[in-house]
Amino acid sequence: MMNNNYKSLSHCKYLVQYHLVWCPKFRFEVINGNIKKSLKNIFADICNKYQYGILELEVMPDHIHIFLSAKPTVAPTDIVRTLKSISAIKLFKEYPKLKKFYARCGSLWSKGYFVSTIGNVSSQTIKRYIQNQNSN
């Protein structure tokens, strides 16, 4: 069951990956052109700083898909909060028109998000592995 994608900390070996999706407030199609390019760079900088590994990223006009890896000590809600808050601050600073567009509600991103854990094996494989532990 060992895999080359596993990473290590001082007392654990892990593979933690999340698929995250969220939208701009009111799902307005505001992420395009230069904003889209800037946002991708902002996400890369944030992930580099916080040691999240971007495995795949797609920025759509009305939502974000990001597939990333993280340490097991970081909760997915903290990852989303970090990505949303820092990216909104930086985008509003870089694009005053975007800030003005969202001035009434005061935030770029909607409150909600989607998160799914991802692994390199199926749930059936894990179940079989656990069930067969005592047969050795």
Q: Which residues are marked as active site? A: 129
CB atoms within 10 A of CB 70: 20
Q: Coil, helix or strand for 51?
A: coil
Cβ count within 10 A of residue 10 = 4
Whole-number Å distance between alpha carbons of 99 and 31: 13
